[in-house]
Amino acid sequence: MNSKNKLLIFTTVTLALSSVTVGTVIAQIKLTNQSKLFINRVGQVRVGMSVSQAAKAAGIKLIGDSPNNSCYYVKPQNEPKNLLFMVTKGRISRVDVRQNSQLTTFKGAKIGDTEAQIKSLYPGQIKVTPHKYVQGGHYLTFIPKDSANQNYRVVFETDGKRVTQFRSGKLPEVEYVEGCS
């Protein structure tokens, strides 16, 4: 085999491996039902991004309410379902995970979990307060110990027994009970 053929084989293998790597990176970026919710992001969509930055980071189209200066919501055009992004001052400020969603937090918390399960996933970091609209229900608020994340929360809403929906984001928006209302 001459050196020209060796170079051609090396280049072909390198390009093939590069294609696989790029494909893997793209697959990891796209927002899916397997994406994880963190205190300040879901998948690659971070609190503080503009809607266009979030759509690009998620690899999906975001649709929703007409933009305004105060507060509105956008959501993925297709999947994942029951995921909403609150937008305030032109930036993503909160991520809402609603009923029947398959999304979980980075610790594995999900809709349907018991209050005890949430407390065990976040030991010593859950503040329990009464739900404003659901009799016997609660807000289980994860408060981070890390000083860099003190302006963020994860709020789990329950019916008194199980998680019905949850959200993460920055203060004060993450604690708005009525969302943008």
β-sheet with 41-42: strand ranges across: 45-46, 41-42, 36-38, 104-105
Q: In Å, how far are 31, 77, 126, 141 from 116, measured between CA atoms?
A: 29, 34, 11, 13
In this prediction, residue 1 carries a pLDDT of 65
As given in the structure block, the two tokens for residue 180 are 């943008």
Phi, psi angles (nearest 5°) of residue 119: -60, -35
Instruction: Name the nearest CA neighbour of 166 among 53, 82, 93, 90.
Output: 82
Bridge pairing between strands 152-158 and 163-170: antiparallel
Phi, psi angles (nearest 5°) of residue 94: -160, 150
What is the C-alpha to C-alpha distance for residues 175 and 11, in angstroms, rounded to an integer? 54
pLDDT tens digit at each of 181 positions of the chain = 665 555 445 444 444 444 444 444 444 479 999 999 999 999 999 999 999 999 999 999 999 988 887 899 999 999 999 999 999 999 999 999 999 889 999 999 999 999 999 999 999 999 999 999 999 999 999 999 999 999 999 999 999 999 999 999 999 999 999 999 8
CA 69 from chain centre, in angstroms, equals 23
Instruction: Name the nearest CA neighbour of 86 among 158, 163, 155.
Output: 155
As given in the structure block, the two tokens for residue 48 are 């503080």
In this prediction, residue 37 carries a pLDDT of 97
Query: End-to-end CA distance of the chain, in Å?
Result: 72
In this prediction, residue 4 carries a pLDDT of 57
3 state SS for 122-174: CCCCEEEEECCCCCCCEEEEECCCCHHHCCEEEEEEECCCEEEEEEEEECCHH
